[in-house]
């Protein structure tokens, strides 16, 4: 009996290790700088609308370009996240405060360990939310997609409350 328990624990460890490696690989893909940024002689950076380099690091349709900085390193970073309709991240937390502005659509937010999309609070275009470091939350969309912009001070990361489960869930 003890041997079966050990095998089960080893299997869970292997799953956690694989998920950690996959998350790191996704983060490396996600945090590539926007390739079409123009920097002038005085250091001003411009990225024109439509020239963002969106990537789909999670494989669920959530697209992310890094507009400034590198969230894996110390310093300010700026991400834009395009959420398709009907998807939410599962409960997770970050090691730093994150400041979020809704650029378009309606973005739904919830806090705490329980993933309850029906209780999410809608934030419409122009809304702002601050995610305090270390506080569990979940967020995403329902009927329509949304684009949000996140500013933080790295290094960043995602720690999911239940790392053995899928990181995203459907809301439609």
Q: Whole-model pTM above 0.85?
A: no
- The more confidently predicted of residues 54 and 33 is 54
Superfamily of domain 2-170: Jelly Rolls (2.60.120.10)
Q: What percent of the chain has pLDDT over 70?
A: 79
Comparing 12-16, 19-23, 113-117, 147-151, which segment has the lowest mean pLDDT?
A: 19-23
| Stretch 44-56: mean pLDDT | 87
- What does the domain layout of the chain look like in residue ranges? 2-170
Length, in residues, of the chain:
172
What torsion, rounded to 10 degrees, do the Cα atoms 89, 61, 171, 96 define?
20
| C-alpha distances in Å from residue 118, one per residue of 20, 23, 103, 142, 148 | 29, 27, 22, 10, 20
CA–CA dist 66, 91 (Å, integer): 23
Give the pLDDT band (50/70/90) at residue 58: confident
Residue 10 is predicted with a pLDDT of: 57
Residue 8 is predicted with a pLDDT of: 58
Residue 88 is predicted with a pLDDT of: 96
At 87-96, the pLDDT tens digits run: 999 999 999 9
Q: What is the mean pLDDT of the chain?
A: 84
């Amino acid at each position: 009996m003890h041997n079966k328990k050990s095998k089960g624990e080893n299997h869970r460890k292997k799953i956690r290790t694989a998920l950690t490696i996959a998350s790191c690989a996704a983060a490396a893909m996600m945090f590539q700088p926007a390739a079409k940024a123009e920097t002038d002689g005085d250091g001003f950076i411009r990225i024109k609308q439509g020239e963002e380099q969106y990537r789909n690091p999670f494989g669920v349709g959530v697209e992310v370009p890094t507009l400034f900085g590198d969230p894996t390193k110390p310093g300010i970073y700026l991400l834009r996240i395009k959420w398709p309709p009907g998807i939410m991240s599962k409960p997770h937390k970050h090691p730093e405060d994150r400041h979020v502005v809704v650029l378009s659509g309606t973005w739904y937010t919830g806090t705490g360990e329980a993933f309850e999309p029906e209780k999410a609070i809608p934030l419409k275009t122009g809304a702002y939310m601050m995610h305090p470091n270390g506080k569990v939350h979940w967020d995403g969309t329902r009927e329509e997609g949304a684009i949000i912009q996140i500013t933080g001070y790295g290094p960043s990361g995602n720690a999911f409350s239940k790392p053995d489960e899928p990181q995203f869930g459907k809301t439609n």
